[in-house]
Chains A and B, each alone.
Chain A
Amino acid sequence: MTALSRQKIGGVLARQGILIAFVVFMVGFAMANQRFIAVDNVFGVIRSSAILGVMALGVTFVVIGGNLDLSVGSMMSFSTIVVLDLHDKVGPALAIPLMFAMTLALGAFIGFLVGYLKLNSLIVTLGMLSAIHGLTLTWSGGKNMDIADKEGTWFAIFGQSSALGIPMPILIFALLAVVLSVLLSKTPFGRKVYAVGGNGTAATFSGIPRARVVFMTYVLSAFCVATAGLMQASRSMGSQNTVGQGLELEVLAAVILGGASLLGGSGTVFKTVIGVLILGFIQNGLLLVGLEFYVQYVVTWVIIILAVWLDIAAKRGRLWSPIA
Chain B
Amino acid sequence: MTDPTPVLRLEGIVKTFPGVRALDGVSFSVLPGEVHALMGENGAGKSTLMKVLGGIHTPDEGQIFIDEEPTQMTSPQHAKAKGVVFIHQELSLADELSVAENIFLGELPLKSFGLVDWAKLYADTNAILKTLNVGFDAKTRVGDLSIANQQMVEIGRALTVDPRAVIFDEPTASLTDAEKVVLFDVIADLKARGVGIIYISHRMEEIFKMTDRISVLRDGSYRGTLITAQTDEDEVTQLMIGRALDLSRNVSHHDMGPVALEARGLSCGDLFRDVSFSVRQGEVLGFYGLVGAGRTEIAETLFGLRDPSAGQILLNGEEVRISSPMEAIRLGISLVPEDRKGQGLVLGMNCRDNMTLPQIDDLRTGPLVSEGAEVAIFDQYRDKLDIRTPGWRQTVGNLSGGNQQKIVIGKWLSMRPEVLIVDEPTRGIDVGSKSEIHNLIRDLAAQGYAVIVISSEMPEVLHVSDRIVAMYSGRVMREFTSDEVTEDSLIQAISGIDGDKVA
Chain A residues at the B interface, C-beta cutoff of 8 Å:
3-4, 7-8, 11, 182, 186-188, 191-192, 194-195, 198-199, 201-209, 265-266, 322-323
Interface string of B341-362 (1 = CB under 8 A from A): 0111111110001000110110
B369: A residues at CB distance < 8 A? 186-188, 191
Nearest to A195 among chain B residues (CB) is: B346
Q: Knowing that A8-B18, A186-B368, A195-B346 are A-B contacts, what are 10 other residue pairs whose CB atoms are under 8 Å apart, sorted by A's residue number?
A: A7-B18, A187-B369, A195-B353, A198-B347, A199-B346, A199-B348, A205-B325, A205-B343, A206-B325, A209-B324
Q: A323 to B344, Cβ gap below 8 A?
A: no
B76 at interface by CB-CB < 8 Å: yes
Distance from B77 Cβ to chain A, minimum over Cβ atoms (Å): 7
A192 contact set on B, CB distance < 8 A: 360
User: What is the chain A residue whose CB lies nearest that of B58?
Assistant: A3
A214 CB → nearest B CB, Å: 15
Q: Are A322 and B76 in contact (CB under 8 A)?
A: yes
The DSSP consensus for interface residues of chain B is mixed
Contact in complex: A203, B346 (CB < 8 Å): yes
CB neighbours (8 Å) of B364 from chain A are: 188
* Cα(A195)–Cα(B349), bound, Å: 8
Q: Which residues of B contact A206 (CB under 8 A)?
A: 325, 357-358, 411
Listed by A's residue number, 18 A-B pairs whose Cβ atoms lie within 8 Å are: A3-B60, A191-B357, A192-B360, A195-B357, A199-B342, A199-B346, A199-B348, A205-B305, A205-B335, A207-B325, A207-B329, A209-B324, A265-B346, A266-B348, A322-B75, A322-B76, A322-B77, A323-B56
Count of A-B contacts with CB under 8 A?
79
Minimum distance in angstroms from A225 CB to a CB of chain B: 24
Q: Is B402 an interface residue (CB 8 A)?
A: no
**CB of B17 within 8 A of chain A?**
yes
Given contacts A187-B367, A198-B347, contact A7 B17 (CB under 8 A): yes
Which A residues are in CB contact (< 8 Å) with B17? 7
Most buried by A among B76, B348, B353: B348
| B326 proximal to A (CB < 8 A) | yes
Contact code string B376-410 (vs A, CB < 8 Å = 1, else 0): 00000000000000000000000000000000000
Q: Report the minimal beta-carbon distance from B63 to chain A, rounded to whole angstroms.
A: 16
**Which B residues are CB-close (under 8 A) to A323?**
56
- Chain B residues numbered 79-130 whose CB sits less than 8 Å from any CB in chain A: none
> How many residues on the B side are at the interface (Cβ–Cβ under 8 A)?
36
CA distance A8 to B353 in the complex (A): 26
Closest chain-A Cβ to B320's Cβ sits at a distance in Å of 16
Contact B348 A198 (CB under 8 A): yes
Report the minimum CB–CB distance from A185 to chain B (whole Å): 9
Complex: chain B residue closest to A265, CB-CB: B348
Task: Check B353–A191 contact: CB distance below 8 A.
Answer: yes
Contacts of B76 in A (CB 8 A): 322
- Assembly CA distance A201 to B342 (angstroms): 7
- Let me know if B346 and A205 touch, CB within 8 A: no
Q: Which of A191, A195, A201 contacts B343 (CB 8 A)?
A: A201
Cβ contact within 8 Å between B349 and A194: yes
Q: Are A203 and B368 in contact (CB under 8 A)?
A: no
CB-based contact A194/B60 at 8 Å? no
Contact of B337 with A by CB under 8 A: yes
B47 within 8 A of partner (CB): no
- Which residues from chain A contact B358 at a C-beta distance below 8 Å? 206-208
Also in contact, A194 and B353, with CB within 8 A (given A3-B60, A199-B342, A322-B76): yes
CA A194 to CA B18, docked complex, whole Å:
26
Q: Quick one: CB contact mask for B324-338 with A, threshold 8 Å, 1 for yes?
A: 111011000001010
Q: Is B16 an interface residue (CB 8 A)?
A: yes
- State A182–B411 Cα separation when bound (angstroms): 25
A199 near B18 with CB under 8 A, answer no
Min C-beta distance of B146 to chain A, whole Å = 25
- Check B347–A199 contact: CB distance below 8 A: yes
Smallest distance from the beta carbon of A317 to chain B beta carbons, Å? 10
Residues 256-304 (chain B) with a chain A CB within 8 angstroms: 303
| Minimum C-beta distance from B241 to chain A (A) | 29
Q: How far, in Å, is A58 (CB) from chain B's closest CB?
A: 19
| Contact yes or no, A209 B16, CB < 8 A | no
Residues on B with beta carbons closer than 8 Å to the beta carbon of A195: 346, 349, 353, 357
CA distance A166 to B324 in the complex (A): 50
Residues in B with CB closer than 8 Å to A194 are 346, 349, 353
Residues in chain A near residue B18, CB distance under 8 A: 7-8, 11
Q: Are B343 and A202 neighbours in the complex by a CB distance under 8 Å?
A: yes
B343 to chain A: closest residue by CB: A205
- Most chain A Cβ neighbours within 10 Å, of B60, B75, B361, B363: B361
A198–B326 Cα gap in the complex (Å)? 19
Which A residues touch B56, using CB under 8 A?
Answer: 323
**Least CB separation from A186: chain B residue:** B368
Q: How many angstroms from the CA of A201 to the CA of B346 in the assembled complex?
A: 9
Question: B335 — which chain A residues lie within 8 A by C-beta?
Answer: 205
Whether B368 lies near A198 (C-beta < 8 A) is: no
Q: How far does the alpha carbon of A194 sit from the alpha carbon of B343 in the complex, in Å? A: 15
- Please tell me if the beta carbons of B326 and A202 are within 8 angstroms of each other in the complex: no
Chain B residue contacts of A188, Cβ below 8 A: 360-361, 363-364, 369
Q: How far is the CB of A129 from chain B (nearest CB, A)?
A: 29
CA distance A9 to B439 in the complex (A): 43
Q: Is B346 within 8 A of A198, CB to CB? A: yes
Q: Which residue of B lies closest to A182 (CB)?
A: B368
Query: With A and B bound together, what is the CA distance between A202 and B56 in angstroms?
Result: 29
B346 contacts A207, C-beta separation under 8 Å: no
Q: Known interface pairs A4-B16, A182-B368, A188-B361. Does A202 touch B344 (Cβ–Cβ under 8 Å)?
A: yes
Closest Cβ of chain B to A163, distance in Å, is 26
B117 to chain A, nearest CB (A): 26
Note all chain A residues with C-beta closer than 8 A to B75: 322
Q: Which residues of B contact A198 (CB under 8 A)?
A: 346-349
